[in-house]
Amino acid sequence: MNDIIETSPSKDECNLAMLAHLLGIFSSFFGALVLWLVKREDDGFAAQEAREALNFQITIAIAMMAAFMLKFVLIGFLLFPLLLLANFIFCLLGAVSAAKGKAYRYPLTLRLVS
Protein backbone atom coordinates (compact mmCIF):
# COMPACT_ATOMS: atom_id res chain seq x y z
CA MET A 1 0.00 0.00 0.00
CA ASN A 2 2.60 2.53 1.05
CA ASP A 3 5.12 1.65 -1.60
CA ILE A 4 7.66 4.32 -2.32
CA ILE A 5 8.08 4.80 -6.04
CA GLU A 6 11.49 6.16 -6.86
CA THR A 7 11.63 8.04 -10.11
CA SER A 8 14.80 8.80 -11.93
CA PRO A 9 15.49 12.42 -12.83
CA SER A 10 14.64 13.67 -16.29
CA LYS A 11 17.33 14.13 -18.90
CA ASP A 12 17.06 17.92 -18.56
CA GLU A 13 17.64 17.71 -14.81
CA CYS A 14 20.61 15.39 -15.38
CA ASN A 15 22.09 17.84 -17.89
CA LEU A 16 21.65 20.81 -15.53
CA ALA A 17 23.19 18.85 -12.67
CA MET A 18 26.11 17.86 -14.89
CA LEU A 19 26.54 21.49 -15.91
CA ALA A 20 26.59 22.58 -12.25
CA HIS A 21 29.50 20.23 -11.58
CA LEU A 22 31.41 21.15 -14.74
CA LEU A 23 31.04 24.90 -14.25
CA GLY A 24 33.09 24.57 -11.08
CA ILE A 25 36.17 23.90 -13.19
CA PHE A 26 35.82 27.12 -15.15
CA SER A 27 33.92 29.58 -12.96
CA SER A 28 34.70 28.55 -9.37
CA PHE A 29 31.49 28.80 -7.34
CA PHE A 30 29.68 31.37 -9.54
CA GLY A 31 28.22 28.90 -12.04
CA ALA A 32 26.91 26.54 -9.36
CA LEU A 33 25.55 29.52 -7.42
CA VAL A 34 23.54 30.79 -10.40
CA LEU A 35 22.15 27.32 -11.15
CA TRP A 36 21.26 26.75 -7.51
CA LEU A 37 19.54 30.14 -7.24
CA VAL A 38 17.48 29.37 -10.34
CA LYS A 39 16.55 25.80 -9.36
CA ARG A 40 16.38 25.89 -5.55
CA GLU A 41 12.60 26.35 -5.47
CA ASP A 42 12.10 23.14 -7.48
CA ASP A 43 13.99 21.06 -4.89
CA GLY A 44 14.66 18.44 -7.54
CA PHE A 45 17.75 16.58 -8.66
CA ALA A 46 19.29 19.59 -10.39
CA ALA A 47 18.86 21.76 -7.29
CA GLN A 48 20.39 19.08 -5.07
CA GLU A 49 23.43 18.65 -7.29
CA ALA A 50 23.87 22.40 -7.78
CA ARG A 51 23.87 22.83 -3.98
CA GLU A 52 26.42 20.04 -3.62
CA ALA A 53 28.65 21.58 -6.30
CA LEU A 54 28.29 25.00 -4.68
CA ASN A 55 29.33 23.66 -1.28
CA PHE A 56 32.38 21.99 -2.82
CA GLN A 57 33.42 25.10 -4.73
CA ILE A 58 33.10 27.23 -1.58
CA THR A 59 35.30 24.70 0.23
CA ILE A 60 37.86 24.86 -2.59
CA ALA A 61 37.80 28.68 -2.47
CA ILE A 62 38.49 28.62 1.27
CA ALA A 63 41.32 26.12 0.73
CA MET A 64 42.77 28.33 -2.02
CA MET A 65 42.79 31.31 0.34
CA ALA A 66 44.56 29.20 2.95
CA ALA A 67 47.09 28.05 0.34
CA PHE A 68 47.65 31.68 -0.66
CA MET A 69 48.42 32.58 2.93
CA LEU A 70 50.70 29.57 3.27
CA LYS A 71 52.71 30.42 0.17
CA PHE A 72 54.84 32.67 2.36
CA VAL A 73 55.94 29.53 4.21
CA LEU A 74 56.46 27.81 0.80
CA ILE A 75 53.81 25.18 1.52
CA GLY A 76 51.19 27.07 -0.49
CA PHE A 77 53.15 26.59 -3.69
CA LEU A 78 52.61 22.84 -3.34
CA LEU A 79 48.97 23.15 -2.31
CA PHE A 80 47.81 25.23 -5.30
CA PRO A 81 48.45 22.55 -7.96
CA LEU A 82 47.04 19.84 -5.69
CA LEU A 83 43.85 21.82 -5.09
CA LEU A 84 43.44 22.54 -8.80
CA LEU A 85 43.93 18.86 -9.65
CA ALA A 86 41.50 17.73 -6.94
CA ASN A 87 38.93 20.28 -8.14
CA PHE A 88 39.24 19.04 -11.72
CA ILE A 89 39.00 15.35 -10.82
CA PHE A 90 36.11 15.66 -8.37
CA CYS A 91 34.14 17.93 -10.70
CA LEU A 92 34.51 15.38 -13.51
CA LEU A 93 33.43 12.56 -11.19
CA GLY A 94 30.40 14.60 -10.13
CA ALA A 95 29.50 15.41 -13.73
CA VAL A 96 29.70 11.78 -14.81
CA SER A 97 27.60 10.68 -11.86
CA ALA A 98 25.01 13.41 -12.49
CA ALA A 99 24.82 12.49 -16.18
CA LYS A 100 23.86 8.97 -15.11
CA GLY A 101 21.16 10.37 -12.81
CA LYS A 102 22.94 9.44 -9.58
CA ALA A 103 23.57 11.87 -6.73
CA TYR A 104 27.21 12.66 -6.00
CA ARG A 105 28.67 13.68 -2.64
CA TYR A 106 32.03 15.40 -2.68
CA PRO A 107 34.48 14.20 -0.02
CA LEU A 108 35.83 16.60 2.63
CA THR A 109 33.25 19.26 1.81
CA LEU A 110 31.88 21.85 4.20
CA ARG A 111 28.09 21.81 3.94
CA LEU A 112 27.54 25.56 4.26
CA VAL A 113 24.55 25.92 1.91
CA SER A 114 21.57 23.81 2.88
Q: What is the pLDDT at residue 49?
A: 92
Reference 33, options 62, 56, 12, 10; nearest CA is 56
- pLDDT tens-digit profile of 45-60? 999 999 999 999 999 9
72 or 21: whose pLDDT is higher? 21
- Number of neighbours of residue 53 by Cβ within 10 angstroms: 32
Q: How far apart are CA 61 and CA 56, in angstroms?
A: 9
Would you say 20 and 112 are in contact if contact means Cβ atoms under 8 Å apart? no
Q: How many helices and strands (H and E) does the chain possess?
A: 4, 0
- In this predicted structure, the answer to whether residue 13 has a pLDDT above a threshold of 50 is yes
Global pTM reads 0.88
